[in-house]
Every structure is written in C-alpha cells, then in structure tokens.
Structure 1
Amino acid sequence: MSLFTQPLDWDQQLLQRYDLAGPRYTSYPTAPQFTEAFSETALRNAITRSNHAGRPLSLYFHIPFCESLCYYCGCNKIVTNNKSRALPYLQRMIQELALYADLFDTQKLVKQLHWGGGTPTYISDEEMSLLMKATRRLFRLADENQGEFSVEIHPGRVSASTMKHLRNLGFNRVSMGVQDFDERVQQAVNRYNTLAQVRDLTRELRAQDYQSISMDLIYGLPLQTLNSLRDTLEKVIDLNPDRLSIFNYAHMPHLFKSQQLINEQDLPSPAAKLDMLHFAIHTLEQAGYRYIGMDHFAKPEDDLARAQDAKKLQRNFQGYSTHGDCDLLALGVSSISMIDNVYVQNAKELNAYQQKMDMGLLPIHKGFTLNDEDKLRRFIINRLICHCELDFAEVTQLFDIEPESYFARELAQLAPMEEDGLLGIDKEGIKVHNKGRLLIRRVCMVFDEYLQKARQDSQQIRYSKII
C-alpha cells in the first residue's frame, strides 16, 4: 500500500512537540530572502534560458479587488465598491502581459492559467472577455484536454451566468472559498455564503461541465468549535467537491490589519485547533479523500493525486500543483513569478504598480537569483514536501554530490526525528513515515540554509505555526 493511500497516523504528543513556526515552502528560498537589489537583467536572462529549455508556461493573474473585507484575509487586496477601478488596472495588466510576450518564445505552450485575488469575479463579464482575449492573442494556450484553466470565486457573490461566461472563455476548473457554514463564525469574520448558495452554484458548475471543483475551508476561526466544524464538513462532503483545502487560520494582526477586527478571545485554543484538524482529516479520509499534504485533499482519481503517484507534483505560490515542468509567469500587483532560476515579485502597492506600467517598465519590486546550492536545496525540499521521500542516487545523478557526506550536518539534525518514528534514513535515502507526514514542514526546515543561518544569527523571521 502506498504511503499516500494510508490513513494518517496521528500522534498528538509528537505533533505538540514539533509544532514550531516555520515556512510553508511555496518557494525555496522563501520570500524573506527576496531583495530590491534584484536586476531586470537577471530576469531577462532567466527568460532566455527558459526559452532555450522549451519549458511550458503557467500564467497567474492577480485581480486584487473585493466588494467586502474578510477579516481573516492575508491576501493583497483592495476593498472597494467602485467597479470603475477595475478596467484601468486590467488594461495595465494586459500591457504587462504584452511586455512579457515580447520576451518569451511565442511558441511556448501555456498549460496552466489561474485568476486569483482578491475576488476575480469582481470584474464584469466584458472585462473578463477583454483579459482572456488579450491572453489568447499574446500567448499560445493549450486546448481544454491539455490545459488547466482555473478561477477563484466567492460563492456568495457570483452568478451562474457569470460562471457560464467564464466556462465559454475556456475556464474548466473552479476554486471556491467556503471557509465555514456556521452563521456565527461567518459574522465574526464578515464572510457570508449560505449552504443553498453553494449547493445551487455547485450544481450549475457541474451542469456547465467544469472539470474540477475545489472548496477551501479554514479551521481555527473565531467562534469555531468542533461541533460547528463537524456540521460544515458534513455539508461539504455532501456537495462532493473534487478537491478540498483546509487551511490553518494564522492570527497575525501585526502583519494583516484586517485581522485586528477579530476578537482574539473568540479564537479557539491551540488544543482545540488540533482536535479540529484531527477530526477533519479522519472525516475526509473516511469520505474517500486522500491527504495530499499540507492542507490539501483530493479524490484518488483527481489529477492532484495522480500527479503525486507519478512523482510529478510540485509546490508553488498557489500551493500544490500538477505541472512541475512549467515556469510560472505572474501578472499584476504583488504577484510572484518563478522562471528558470529566479523569483520575481511585482510592486506590492497598486499605485507603484500602475506608475511603473505607465512608464513602460516591468513592474519589478523584488527578486532573487538562485545559485547552485539554492537549486540543490530547492530540489530536496520539493521532493520531501510533495513525495515524502528523497532518493540519494537521484540527487547524486542530478547534482554530482554524495548526499550522505554533503548533508552530514542535516542528517544529524534529522536523527531525533528518526528516533521518534517520523522518518527513516538509510543508504538509499530519506523516507518520511506516516507519522511524520503532518510534520513535513519541520523536516524540510532542516535543509533550509537561510533559516538555519537566521537562527544562528538570532534573526527574527515570523512564520505561522506548522499545525
């Protein structure tokens, strides 16, 4: 039996012992290492290497607008009812896309496309058509059988006709933020969508032949209890989504001002959150979902599970992804691209982003160029976080090193975890055991050279807790 088809082995004592704060590893090195000293020349050189390699593309468009403020949200968003603000932003994003179209090989195939936010369905149907037509004009998109084209939606604020319009534009996957069905919890976080709205919309999406429906939930929200989560999960399972994400609410009001509107006294205790997570995992496994890793669940026949079985799963800024062979080009305010050996983040503020576009410049704010050591450690962390194993022979073949001696210090740090039954280490490599899957971030942290150095230098980088 594959590790990923087994029910998770829950060891409460070990989880509490290893539940430290740490990165989510949507990239390595992580965002705190990005620097404003990054040059556009480094980006252009990376694009040239990407063209020569012939790698396909994944496109991400950040549409930051929302009609209302969700108090828990840590995304880069602009809350406004002034819909006229959207078009000038979209026009500049199309301008940015055109600048990149001049740099990329026009024969590159776009295998993935994602609209995130914010709330992408904030924009009108006409504006959606404008953006998608420009994308098809400037880049070569895969056909529906090859391509994954997804959009994030707020099920309480989108119509069936808009979803039909998106389907006609080529979108075939939907990710909807449900979060919680309990009315008291919804009021505490100012996020509303009824069961009837989600049920009716889900039926419409299936009738419109969307290939995949994903739902996002959050545990650890104010006024949330084990009983309220049980009720939400029962309703969600009955809706039968193809994928589920259950995120840990990280209360960090020092970073996200909107979270200051949440009453900290209403937040469940760490012990209560652990109980919620344990119950959610067990309930979803009983309902036939596979725990992919770090918040993500999928049906065994879903592409996410198949990619994991085929060892083609990857981790990027959108979480787990099925196309590990793609370079990621991200457009819009605050978005982050991953192209060859560079990460590039756009200007975080809307005015700064739009000013750069008006000057005809790429809206770069920060970036990072990976050296050979970074690429080695990125490979290791990606293998562990996606597949819970590391093959030493593969590392030797790809990077021409002897892992056992090269990583002697890191393997020594893993020894206590091996003693605790979280993983096994032998001459062939590292294998994370069932008991260690929930603590995979903690395993990856050992190979994070920047995190280790920051600790040695007593630098404080704030991360959310692992569990």
Structure 2
Amino acid sequence: MQYHDHDGSHYLTYPDAARLATGDGPAALTRALAERSPGAPLALHVRLPFCRQACRFCASQRVPSRDSRQADPYLTRLDREMVLVSRLLGRLPAVQRLHWGGGAPAFLSLDQMGDLFDRLDARFGLSGARGRDFSIEIDPREADVFTLRHLQALGFNRLSLGVQELDLRVQKAINRVQPRVLTESLVDEAERLGFHSLNLDLIVGLPLQTPRGFGETVEQVIAMTPARITLRRYAHLPERYRPQREIDAEDLPDAATRLAILEAARERLDDAGYVHIGLGQFARPDDSLAQALGEGRLARGLQGYTHYPPGDQLGLGVAALSRVGDTLARNALSLADYEAALDASQLPASAGYRLDAVERLHRDAIEALACRRELDLAALSQAHGLDAGAALAGALERLAPFCRAGLLERHGQCLRVTPDGLWGLTHLLAAFDPQATPVA
C-alpha cells in the first residue's frame, strides 16, 4: 500500500471543489455575502486564464491566446463582476490579501496590469500597509525584469514562479522549455527589488522524470535560495484535460519511481534546512509559514498554506472559487458561460454549496491535521457542541491502518501526525472525507 505520497491541491476546500454540484450559485453566494459580519476582512483571488503556450501537464481552465489585447473583453467583464459583488458587500476594511493566478497573469501587458490593479482598488480598496500579502503566479517565460519592477511598483510583494522541472528532456516532453538562467534572472531581480517572499513550484511525476534528474533540479532550485519551495504531484487525467493527451502514458514514472523521486527531494530539502510545512510545501526557517507553524497559527486558504488567520475569500474570474462563511461557490467553468452571466448582469457563480453541521466538523478536523499536525477530539467536541469521537467514528476507523504504519499516533482523545506522516498527509485527510477514493 502506497502511503508516502502527497498532493497539496487536495482539501484546499472541503468538500472538494470538483464535487460542487451545479445549482443556484448566484443565490448561494449572494446570501453568504449578505450574512458576512460588517467590517470583516476579505481576501481576493483573481483568475486570469490566458496563456500563450499549452503546457501538456496543464489541469486548469485556460484560454490559449497570442495577443494580450484579446484579454480586453475579459477584463471588462471582470470589472463588471467586481461592481456586482461590491454592491453586496458594502464598506470593507482595506484588502490585505490579494492573489492573481491563472493561466499566466504576466500574459497581460503592463498597462492592462496597472488598469486591473486600479479597478480592484476602486471597487474594494487595496491596502498599502507593509503587512499586506499581494501575490502573483509568474510563468518565467512570460516575464522579465521590467515585469517584476512594474508589479513591485503596483504593490505586489510575493511571487510564485512556475519552474516545474529543469531537466531539458522532461521540459520537452511537457512542452515547457525554460532555461535555468531565465528563472535565475527573475529570482535575482526579485531579491534586488525586495519582494519579501518568493516561491518556486516543482512538479513530481512528469514524463521521463527520474530520481537523479529531479534531484539535480532540486539542488539547482535550492541554490537559488527561495523562501519557499512547493512540490506538486502531477495527476494524469487526459480524459478530463485535453493538453495531457499529448503525453505518452508509458513515459510517466511508476509509483515506486515517484516515491524514490520524493525521497531524494525530501533528503536534499532537509539537508538544506527547509522546514516541511506539509502537503509538499517547504519553507526556510525564517519564512512566515515556518514561523506560523512553530507558533500554532498556520492556516489554509484557497491557494494553500498561509500565516494569515482563516477568513472569507472571494474569487473573481472564470472558474474562480469563493469561500464565504460556510458557503463554497464556484464561477462558471467556461469563458462563454462566464461572459453570458455578466452580460445579463448576473453573478457568474455556477455552483454554490453551504456546509451542514457534520460537514463543518469534517472540515475543521481536516484543517487541524493539515495545519497543526494534531487533532484534539475533546476540543473539537466542545467547539461543535457534539461528541466528535462518535460523529467521526468512521473516519477514526479508516485512520487505524495509518496508526499501525507509524504515520499517526493516538493518545487518548488526541491524534498526532508523525514526521513520516507528513508525506502521507493527503491520505490522512482523506479519511475524513466519506467520498474520497480509498488508498490503493
């Protein structure tokens, strides 16, 4: 049985966003926004789905395009969505957390980026405080030093660069040839400009990947000294994601090879002093994530681990997710449906779901294990006003094999994740998900 694996993309929401059924999304999101506490902070996530090149590992709703001017109609509708939402929110405190994802946000021209930032500020009010967390995902092939200078001038202070793999054979197999010097030049410029946090993304399980080759990639990335390094797992689902049909399944590493790749990466990151936060996220000891973990205040948002307290997050753009109170909402997955809703002056949420009492219990159990590495059933019972041990009896039974395998320890009402268990954390979290696929 393969316990030692990970995938940080799972359980950013519970239930998983992929299982959100279509329904009256606008009504669900409208109700959730209306029920928010006045003055409560709100984080913003903006999806910019455009990219010039189709990476074969892609598992996102992306819009292929060569000309940034083709994004203008989308940006116009994005502003329309902002207007509709801001009318429901009323007065907000200055937004401290902003994230631009995609796609490749740097696909936009500098003028388009500036205009979008100004519109967000006009509709919601963006913070200029030093403690703000304004992050953006960057494809190094789409950006240069002038891009970074413009982003820094706008107010962004955290970058996530998509490296994926530095082995040229693998890069060709996934249609993402990206010379190391390209990434290094951006890393050096980001440091010079004073971006307070830099994350480099790597993917495990790509075609033609080997433990030795990926180990060399990890060593080269460590040499760039980023504050954070993320290991993501490639999931081969060609029936769902068209670009993946270009990948030859016979070139994919098997489970044993993937485990060897992970173990080699783990050893190198440990030797370099990086702290394993969990779910493939690593951070230097001086980074805010490592500090939050040590102080017991780590949380999870829709983009992964954060040192900010959990709170409401609003997604803007096609396929964007929102989490407001106990409600999850997802915008239309297709660009056509997204545009049609906004052209009709309707919120583009195509699905909305409000968690019931049992689901909130499961959500909080997942959050406790993922962020604090332990679950106190007595505290959970008190917080939810019920017997958590009885309500989670099925989950606790599913966790028994992990206890025997040494990934989890149970001491009375308290369960603790072991260091080895961090590498099987996805499976531990899945025990609290009745609809999860059993470990194979």
The letter for the 2-side match of 1:61 is: V
Cα gap change, 1:70 to 1:392, in 2 (>3 Å): same
> How do residues 233-244 of structure 1 correspond to structure 2 at under 5 angstroms?
233-244=218-229
The letter for the 2-side match of 1:45 is: R
1:368 aligns with 2:353: yes
Aligned to 1:58: 43
| Equivalent position SS for 1:449 | coil
Give CA deviations for 1:346-384 in whole Å, capped at 9, x if unaligned: 111111111111111111111211111111111111111
| Equivalent position SS for 2:230 | strand
Q: Shift of the alpha carbon at 1:246?
A: 1.1
Please identify runs of 4+ aligned residues in structure 1 that moved more than 3 A: 17-23, 449-452
Cα gap change, 1:266 to 1:18, in 2 (>3 Å): closer
- Which ranges in structure 1 are unaligned for 5 or more consecutive residues? 1-13, 456-464
Is the Cα contact below 8 Å between 2:26 and 2:348 reproduced in 1?
A: no
> How do residues 40-439 of structure 1 correspond to structure 2 at under 5 angstroms?
40-52=26-38, 54-439=39-424
| Equivalent position SS for 1:109 | coil
Cα gap change, 1:40 to 1:78, in 2 (>3 Å): closer
Aligned to 1:34: 20
Q: Percent identity?
A: 34
Count of equivalent residues = 440
Q: Shift of the alpha carbon at 1:427?
A: 2.9
| Equivalent position SS for 1:320 | strand
Is the Cα contact below 8 Å between 2:100 and 2:136 reproduced in 1?
A: yes
Distance 1:185 1:347 in 2: 33
Is the Cα contact below 8 Å between 1:395 and 1:403 reproduced in 2?
A: yes
- Of residues 5, 8, 11, the one that matches 1:25 is 11
Distance 2:375 2:285 in 1: 23
The letter for the 2-side match of 1:184 is: R
| Equivalent position SS for 1:146 | coil
The letter for the 2-side match of 1:30 is: D
Distance 2:101 2:430 in 1: 28
Give CA deviations for 1:229-259 in whole Å, capped at 9, x if unaligned: 1221121111110001111111111111101
- Of residues 393-402 and 258-267 in structure 1, the stretch that sits farther from structure 2 once superposed is 393-402
Is the Cα contact below 8 Å between 2:202 and 2:231 reproduced in 1?
A: yes
Q: Shift of the alpha carbon at 1:95?
A: 1.2
Q: What's the Cα RMSD here?
A: 2.1
Is the Cα contact below 8 Å between 1:144 and 1:172 reproduced in 2?
A: no
Distance 2:10 2:137 in 1: 21
Distance 1:268 1:437 in 2: 22
- Which ranges in structure 2 are unaligned for 5 or more consecutive residues? none
| Equivalent position SS for 2:140 | coil
Is the Cα contact below 8 Å between 1:56 and 1:325 reproduced in 2?
A: no
Distance 2:371 2:47 in 1: 25
Cα gap change, 1:329 to 1:216, in 2 (>3 Å): same
Q: Shift of the alpha carbon at 1:19?
A: 6.2
TM-score computed with the length of structure 2 as normaliser: 0.95
Is the Cα contact below 8 Å between 1:389 and 1:430 reproduced in 2?
A: yes
Q: Shift of the alpha carbon at 1:39?
A: 4.4
Q: Shift of the alpha carbon at 1:414?
A: 2.3
Is the Cα contact below 8 Å between 1:144 and 1:170 reproduced in 2?
A: no
- Of residues 286-295 and 315-324 in structure 1, the stretch that sits farther from structure 2 once superposed is 315-324
| Equivalent position SS for 2:253 | coil
Cα gap change, 1:396 to 1:79, in 2 (>3 Å): same
The letter for the 1-side match of 2:27 is: T
| Equivalent position SS for 1:437 | helix
Is the Cα contact below 8 Å between 1:22 and 1:441 reproduced in 2?
A: yes
Distance 2:254 2:358 in 1: 40
Distance 1:20 1:314 in 2: 18
Is the Cα contact below 8 Å between 1:357 and 1:363 reproduced in 2?
A: yes
Aligned to 1:459: none
TM-score computed with the length of structure 1 as normaliser: 0.90
Distance 1:338 1:78 in 2: 24
